[in-house]
Amino acid sequence: MLLNQKYEIYPNEKQKEMLDRWLQYCRQTYNSALLDKQRKYNRSNESYTRYDMQTQLKLDKKKYSFLKEVPSQPLQEVFLRLTKAFDNFFRKDAKYRKLKKYKDYNSMTFPQFCFNNKGNRYAMSFSQNGKLFNKKLGEIDIKLHRPLEGIMKQLIIKPQGEKWYAIFCVERQAVPRTMDSHNAVGIGVGLNKYAVLSNGMEYENPTFLREKEKQLKKAQRKLSKRKKGSVNYIKQVHRVLHLHEKVANQRRDFLHKLSYHLSKDYGVIVVEKLNIRNMVKNRKLSKSISDAGWGMFRNMLDYKCEKNGGALIKVEPHFTSQDCSSCGERVKKSLSIRTHICTKCGTVLDHDYNASVNILHKGLEQLLVMN
């Protein structure tokens, strides 16, 4: 299995300028290849392949000397990224690709990495001092707060706010899965309670964005009064970014801890296959749904279950909150009604708890079919 391990790096000002410049060259190469692909298809109805892009890059390097400043690996990875994007589009998993703006292209990938700086063909490596090393950048300080475990596959350099991060993609041997139906739990996510388990446990919704909303509004009002491009404007932009980064970090920390404990405690976890993209179209609930981070939580559960030898089962969400978990009678009710009262057997349960039990039943049925 592949896992990403993220570490903060500390480039100096000169290195930051060079990294930012490389990012923009990669973005321009991406946009240029996208336009070439569109032009070729419109003229001759033929595909502009990755080989064609690499051939054009060789010609561009002779014409534009600034492209030689960037290591070849991140530039070539741009074409792989564009090819995958179009493959996803044709599979109807993504929208048609658009030209990338400055803020949209925020990472570059080094597909090869080594632990010493002897090899000339490696664009990034570790120096003898335990720092990131590149011949053009020099040594970059890195905070290795946990050991790198597994076979190194690639390195991603990414700015986030005012900080820079190195993300190592490592391959580890997955723990064999144990489909233990006796140690299974269903999870129903919501906005009042973040998660309700089928065994009755509840986790409160921390609503990090809502708590910082007043501060964000105040900071953004101040930003709107500053003269665009001035020193005070730039300072205020950084304050707003810092608040958003704080909220994102709090949410990510909460979800990491919750998903870790659940994947450790249960062998089989069952969740709903929610279409979050459609759910956020509801203008009254979109902010709260985005703040909850259900999609991120599901992705974390997925890889952590695999890492710990468990299994994550996704079931269709149809009628999980309507059906009675005791007798199966369908009791129609709106989302505003938070108590399930069965008209057939008289069962009275919390709305979310009833849904989580139904989710577990669906997951166990699916597990029997799988086995």
Residue 245's nearest CA partner among 204, 216, 224 is 216
The reported pLDDT for the residue numbered 371 is 66
The reported pLDDT for the residue numbered 283 is 83
CA distance 240 to 249: 14
Instruction: Give the domain ranges of the chain.
Output: 2-171, 181-370
The reported pLDDT for the residue numbered 310 is 87
The structure's pTM equals 0.81
DSSP category for residue 345: T
Does the structure show a pLDDT above 90 at 251?
yes
Tell me the pLDDT band of 116, cut-offs 50, 70 and 90.
low
Q: Where are the alpha helices (DSSP H) in the chain?
A: 13-44, 50-63, 72-90, 208-225, 231-265, 276-279, 286-292, 294-307, 351-370
Take residue 353 and report the two structure tokens written for it: 């708890």
Could you tell me which residues are beta bridge partners of residue 323? 330
- Do 167 and 151 form a contact (C-beta atoms < 8 A)? no
Does the structure show a pLDDT above 90 at 102?
no
In three-state secondary structure terms, 133 is strand
Tens digits of per-residue pLDDT, 189-218? Answer: 988 889 999 988 999 999 898 889 899 999
Half-sphere exposure of 68 (CA within 13 A, CB side): 6
Tell me the pLDDT band of 346, cut-offs 50, 70 and 90.
confident
- Do 205 and 196 form a contact (C-beta atoms < 8 A)? no
Does the structure show a pLDDT above 80 at 291?
yes
The reported pLDDT for the residue numbered 288 is 87
Could you tell me which residues are beta bridge partners of residue 44? none
Q: If you count DSSP H runs as helices and E runs as strands, how many of each does the chain have, helices first?
A: 9, 15
251: left (phi over 0), alpha (psi -120 to 50) or beta: alpha
- Do 300 and 212 form a contact (C-beta atoms < 8 A)? no
Does the structure show a pLDDT above 70 at 76?
yes
Tens digits of per-residue pLDDT, 152-166? Answer: 888 999 998 889 999
Tell me the pLDDT band of 328, cut-offs 50, 70 and 90.
confident
Could you tell me which residues are beta bridge partners of residue 187? 197
